[in-house]
Structure 1
Amino acid sequence: MHLNWTSIVFTVIAFLILYWLLTRYAFGPLFSVMEKRRELVLKQMSEAAQTREQAAAYVEEQKQALQQARKEAYDIIEQSKQTGNKQAEQIIIQAKDEAVRLKDEAVREITSERNKAVAELRSEVGKASVQIASKLIQKEIKEDQVQGELVDQYLKEVGGKA
């Protein structure tokens, strides 16, 4: 086999001219389009990563907001329990105070009624004593009169016999 160097040189030159024409007019715009496409894909990937990060941050923010809301709800419930307990204690204290007040008032009323009854009894006893004394005095006066009459009668008898 024998090599034809002129053919090889013409083929190489033709190849180089074709390569230069393709590079200048075909590969340049093609590579430019491919580079733009590559940049677009990288930009979309970057935006997708940012969106994922924002979504993750938003989810975390929502979790924190939910935890804060739960904590506030728990605090409100605890505060309501404490307020309810305080009110219950106040109501119990007021009820005890009211019971003591009513008891003291009842004791005062009982004492007052007892004192009135004692005073009334004393008054009745005094009246009864006065009536008894007046009857005794009347009886003594009658007895004195009877005795006086007996003495007078005796004196009359003694004086009439003399």
Structure 2
Amino acid sequence: MLTDGFVLGFVSGKLNTGDIVFQLIMFIILLLLLRKFAWGPLMGIMKQREEHIANEILAAEKSREEANRALEEQRSLLKESRIEAQTLIENARKQGDIQREEIIKTARLEAERLKSAAKVEIETQKEKAVTALREQVASLSVLIASKVIEKELNADDQEKLINDYIQEAGEKR
């Protein structure tokens, strides 16, 4: 309504300054009231919202940095674990090779020892057999000599006597 008077007054050629001043004062009062009761709280809420969003962004960045740090730490631990596992495998392989070589060396030494012992045993048995054979030959020779001395033999009797003693010696064995 006021604007209707303003427009009418302006159109009619006369300007109503009282209405303009009144409307201007009212507009300024309205602006002051809006500033005090609406704009201040609204800006406070907007400021709180801005701070809240900024804090959320900072918290999200901090969480992301912590996640990246944890991820790098996990990667580092995984890499160390892989290196440690590789080292353990390599050490086990080396230890296995060392043990294998020791077993082979021990087996070869044992084989040589058994071979030497067998050679010594064979030599001992050979010497015993030769000694026994000498003793038998000596006793047979003495026996034959005593029989020959007891009686004079012709060639047939002598051969028969030798064959008998050889057969007798074979039976004693």
Q: Same fold (TM over 0.5)?
A: yes
Q: Cα distance, 1:51 vs. partner?
A: 0.8
Where in structure 2 are there 5+ consecutive unaligned residues? 1-9, 154-173
Where in structure 1 are there 5+ consecutive unaligned residues? 143-162
Q: Which amino acid aligns with 2:127?
A: N
Q: Cα distance, 1:75 vs. partner?
A: 1.7
Q: Distance in 1 between matches of 2:77 and 2:16?
A: 83
Which of 59, 76, 79 is equivalent to 2:71? 59
- Give the TM-score normalised by structure 2: 0.72
* Count of residue pairs brought into register by the alignment: 141
Q: Cα distance, 1:109 vs. partner?
A: 0.7
Q: Distance in 1 between matches of 2:80 and 2:141?
A: 89
- Give the TM-score normalised by structure 1: 0.77
Q: Distance in 2 between matches of 1:15 and 1:35?
A: 26
Q: Distance in 1 between matches of 2:73 and 2:67?
A: 10
Q: How does 1:1-162 map to 2 (within 5 A)?
A: 3-138=15-150
Q: Which amino acid aligns with 1:118?
A: V
- Larger relative CO (CA 8 A, sep 6+): 1 or 2? 2
Identity among equivalent pairs (%): 43
Q: Distance in 2 between matches of 1:51 and 1:137?
A: 126
Q: Which amino acid aligns with 2:131?
A: A
